[in-house]
Amino acid sequence: MAPHSFIRAFVCVSPPETELTKLNDFVASVREYPGFKWVKSDQLHITLKFLGDITSPQAMALDTNLSRLGGTRPFVISLRGVGAFPSESRPRTLWLGIGDGAESLVRLASFVDKASVSSGCERGLRKFHPHVTLARARHEGGEIGISGDLAEKLSDIPDISWTCGSFVLMKSELTSSGPVYTPMGKYDL
C-alpha cells in the first residue's frame, strides 16, 4: 500500500476584492516598518482553522462535511482594532481584530472544527480568536513593540466591512518566496 501524500491546508474567510483593496492600502502604509514580515495582499484572510498536513482522503471527507453546513446565514464582518500575539510590547504576530461578526465567526469556526474532526483531522486545541494577520516578527526574541509612529499609523484603520456569504478550504504550498494559497473548495452560507 502506497503512503498518502499530504496537503497543507486551512479553512478561512476572505474579504471581497473591494475590501481587500482597502485592507491592502492600509497595510501598505505600514510596510516600511522594520522587524516585521508583512502579509501579502492576496493572503489576507481570517483563518477559521489551520489543519496542517492532511491526507487526500481527509481532504475529500472534509470537503463533504464542510458542504453540509446548515442553519448559518450570511453575516456582516467589520475589522476593528489592532493587537498582537503574545502582547503589544513583544509582538510576534500583528493582527486586525473583528468588530461586527465576531460571534458568528466563532460559531462558524466551531462548525469547521467539528467537520474537520469528523473527517479524521485533529481537534483545535487553542481558543479561537478571530483576526486578520497583518505581519509576523522577523526574528524570534528580537521583536520590537508597537509604539510611537507605528502605533499611530496602526490606529488609523479604515472602515472595512463586508457580508460574509462563504468560506474556503485552502491549500498552502510553502515556497522559497513564501506560501502560495490555492482554493480547494468554497462553501456558501
Q: Any idea which residues carry the catalytic annotation?
A: 45, 131
Residue 150: HSE in the Cβ half-sphere, 13 Å Cα cutoff: 18
DSSP classification of residue 34: T
Residue 134 neighbours by CB under 8 Å, 6+ apart: 27, 30, 38, 39, 44, 82, 94, 95, 96
Task: For residues 16 and 18, give the distance between their C-alpha atoms in angstroms, rounded to a whole number.
Answer: 6
